Amino acid sequence: MKEIIIHEVGPRDGLQAEKQTIPTEVKVKWIEALMESGVDIIQIGSFVHPEKVPQMADTDKLFTHFSQSTCFSQSGKKVPSVVLAGLVLNEKGLDRGMACGVELFCMGISASDTYSKKNTGMSSEEALSRIIPMAQKAVAAGKKVQVSVQNAFGCSYEGPIQDEKVLTIMKKYLEAGMRRISLADTSGHAHPQQVERLFGAAIALEPQAELTCHFHETYGLGIANCYAAMKAGVKYFEASFGGLGGSPFSARSSGNVCTEDFVHFLQRMDLRPDVRMDKIVEVTKEAGQILNRDLPSFMNRIGPVPAGPASQ
């Protein structure tokens, strides 16, 4: 648990399902604040068809902006170095990402055929046959790549997903040379015992793999599942400011694990004291105002546990 890497997915996963499109200049302001917070990776968009997902229509523009010469925040302070990540679904998206400065490509397939067909129009096997060559092409170009298994803990269409199915996909990734692998709880079905078991099996399969977890709060177990993943040895954690997000292709889903709540959880255990939770809450407050609703963030609504005198 000594090394925890925070992957902020709010600008992409958090905003992709919103009916309201956020102006590019507002996204830039939010991403700058997230950079200043000290998170390690920011997933700032996805390369999808702009007519199908208008919320992501400015992804190329955002990457071009942040990958150009040194960027500065509105306060004039130098933006700390973070990894800029983007989601790609197909070869065309990969080519777009290559052209505008993506540093970490995120791509993957679902362990559920039903979900895969709704999301990509392909079966899981068909999607895998395309994702692996894409991942290898990005690696050959000197890019970082994270491949994922979506619906790794269950599917709102198919129900339980067998561990062996998830591990079989992971084996194919490993055989293709991929070592950075995410197991995503796309439908929010995971529970802590399952998380510890599946990630334990994944680590046993390849101890050198860099494993990422991605949990949703559909049934309120997101941070509990994060703790189970930490106990199993996972060090990469995806979360979204304000708890925004949720797959638009899942039958029932809720937001992602809330970044600022996850940071508070870590800091209560004396982990990641370097992260500025206030900068993340700043983004959440403004997002709530623009979206005209209260976001499921405890740190926004209640604030952190106050510091008090040491226990006697």
**How confident is the model at residue 74, as a pLDDT?**
54
pLDDT for the residue 255: 87
Q: What is the pLDDT of residue 115?
A: 87
Establish if 308 belongs to a structural domain. no
Asked if residue 44 lies in contact with residue 11, where contact means CB atoms within 8 angstroms, the answer is yes
202-225: pLDDT as tens digits: 999 999 999 999 999 989 999 999
Helix 24-37 and helix 277-291, axial crossing angle in degrees, nearest 10: 160
Residue 157 lies in a domain: yes
176: closest CA among 129, 106, 208, 141?
129
pLDDT in the model for residue 107:
97
Domains of the chain: total: 1
What digits encode the pLDDT tens for the residues 127-156?
899 999 999 999 999 999 999 999 999 998
Question: Environment class of residue 23 by beta-carbon count within 10 Å: exposed (0-12), middle (13-18) or buried (19+)?
Answer: exposed
Which of the residues in the chain have pLDDT under 70? 1-2, 69-80, 247-254, 308-312
In a domain, 258, yes or no: yes
Whether residue 310 is contained in a domain is answered as no
Are 93 and 47 within 8 A, CB to CB? yes
User: Is this prediction's pTM over 0.85?
Assistant: yes
pLDDT of residue 250: 54
Asked whether residue 309 is assigned to any structural domain, the reply reads no
Asked whether residue 307 is domain-assigned, the answer is no
Please, are residues 88 and 131 in contact by the beta-carbon 8 Å criterion? no
pLDDT of residue 251: 47
Length of the chain: 312
Q: 49 is in which domain, residue-wise?
A: 5-301
- Is residue 43 situated within a structural domain? yes
What does the radius of gyration of the chain's CA atoms come to, in whole angstroms? 18
pLDDT of residue 302: 94
DSSP conformation letters of the chain? ----EEEE-IIIIITTT-SSPPPHHHHHHHHHHHHHHT-SEEEEEEE--TTT-GGGTTHHHHHHHHHSS--B-TTSPBPPP-EEEEEE-SHHHHHHHHHHT-SEEEEEEES-HHHHHHHHSS-HHHHHHHHHHHHHHHHHTT-EEEEEEETTT-BTTTB---HHHHHHHHHHHHHTT--EEEEEETTS---HHHHHHHHHHHHHH-TT-EEEEEEB-TTS-HHHHHHHHHHHT--EEEEBGGG----TTSSS--PBPBHHHHHHHHHHTT--TTS-HHHHHHHHHHHHHHHTS--S-HHHHT-SPPP-PPP-
Q: What is the pLDDT of residues 270-306, one digit of tens each?
A: 999 999 999 999 999 999 999 999 999 999 999 999 8
CATH number reported for the structural domain that contains residue 282 in this entry: 3.20.20.70
- In the block, which residue shows the tokens 């395309």? 130
Q: Which two tokens stand for residue 44?
A: 């700032």
The predicted structure's pLDDT at residue 312: 43
Q: Is residue 271 part of a domain?
A: yes
> Is 31:62 a contact under the CB 8 Å cutoff?
yes
